[in-house]
Amino acid sequence: MDTTVKILAAAIYNGRVNHAYIISGAAKSGKTELAKSFARAILCRNQNQNKSNNYSLQYCGSCAACISFEGGNNPDVVYVVPAKTAIGVDDIRQQVNSGISVMPYGKHRIYIIEAADHMTHSAQNALLKTLEEGNTFGIFILTATNPEKFLPTILSRCIICKLKSPDIKTTIPYTETEKQNEIINFIDRIFRDCSIAEIFEFARHMEQKENKENINQIFDIFALCFRDLIILKQTAEPTRIIQKDMINRFADLIPCLDTSRILNCIEALEKARWRLFQNANFLLTVEVMLLEFCGK
């Protein structure tokens, strides 16, 4: 597993989370996903249960913090958004400094500042003031493409996590094994015999906020599954597949599949990705894609 994830997980489960992190990396290297997974794992109330799990960023999915996080309304998460193009001093004052001393609901309040390298110098100085005050429950997670734009005083107070350039593995959302399982279950259904009602139900499920916002990552998981299925079908060599933990699921499916069917799925997936990029109707696009997956 990625060392960055291990380091972050170790910090949580050893009770040594720092007050500020910078997650840096190229576009699409998974910065936002990692920031969110880290925040969710910090806030989950069942950390003792999560701890046993091999230093990945775990969350239980059922405690109040997890449920509200999934719903996008966990009161202990503050997404700092710029009023204009860059994050200015007023954004930091209004969204961070003014509420920093209010007690959180859980143990921590997490401030996620995306594209934080776009903070003006005065914004960085305002943030620095808060970091220097050493508030015990505030945790800052900053994402950045160009960390050299931060003031040295900011850099010296943050733990810097560098992500590798995107490749097929790192673009999958971290800790999204749940999502992966859900998608593989669905693929399993479509390649056996899936009713129209099930297809529409899955499309509506995809339309829910959390899925809709992460649709590109979900498409990436679908693409990866199709890729692994083709490789397994063609080579019968499990070592060549990427999602090795899913080998048994894939092996079960292989007898029901022919390669052209999987290729059609990949084509339908890419068509849907392109349509959504062009702002086509979300539900309709996903429904058509799923129907094409089923060969209907």
Chain residues in the site for Zn ion (CB under 5 A): 44, 46, 59-60, 63, 66
60 vs 231 by CB, closer to Zn ion = 60
Nearest to 113 by CA among 16, 35, 42: 35
63 vs 266 by CB, closer to Zn ion = 63
Interatomic CA distance for residues 177 and 169, integer angstroms: 13
State in angstroms the smallest separation of the CB of 134 from Zn ion. 27
Instruction: Compute the Cα dihedral for 133, 134, 135, 138 and give only its sign.
Output: positive
State in angstroms the smallest separation of the CB of 39 from Zn ion. 12
State in angstroms the smallest separation of the CB of 155 from Zn ion. 32
17 vs 66 by CB, closer to Zn ion = 66
66 vs 163 by CB, closer to Zn ion = 66
109 vs 249 by CB, closer to Zn ion = 109
State in angstroms the smallest separation of the CB of 179 from Zn ion. 16
Nearest to 282 by CA among 205, 178, 183: 205
66 vs 294 by CB, closer to Zn ion = 66
Q: Are 273 and 216 in contact (CB under 8 A)?
A: yes
- Give the number of residues written for the chain: 296
State in angstroms the smallest separation of the CB of 62 from Zn ion. 6
Interatomic CA distance for residues 137 and 186, integer angstroms: 40
State in angstroms the smallest separation of the CB of 176 from Zn ion. 15
State in angstroms the smallest separation of the CB of 59 from Zn ion. 5
Residue 295 Rama label (left phi>0; alpha psi -120 to 50; beta) = left
What the block records as the tokens of 95 is: 């969204």
Exposure string of 245-282, with b = 16+ CB inside 10 Å and e = fewer, is: ebeebbeebeeebeeebbeebbebbeebbebbeeeeeb
What the block records as the tokens of 63 is: 């405690």
Strand partners, 79: 112
64 vs 283 by CB, closer to Zn ion = 64
Q: At what angle do helices 196-206 and 282-293 cross, to 10 degrees?
A: 140
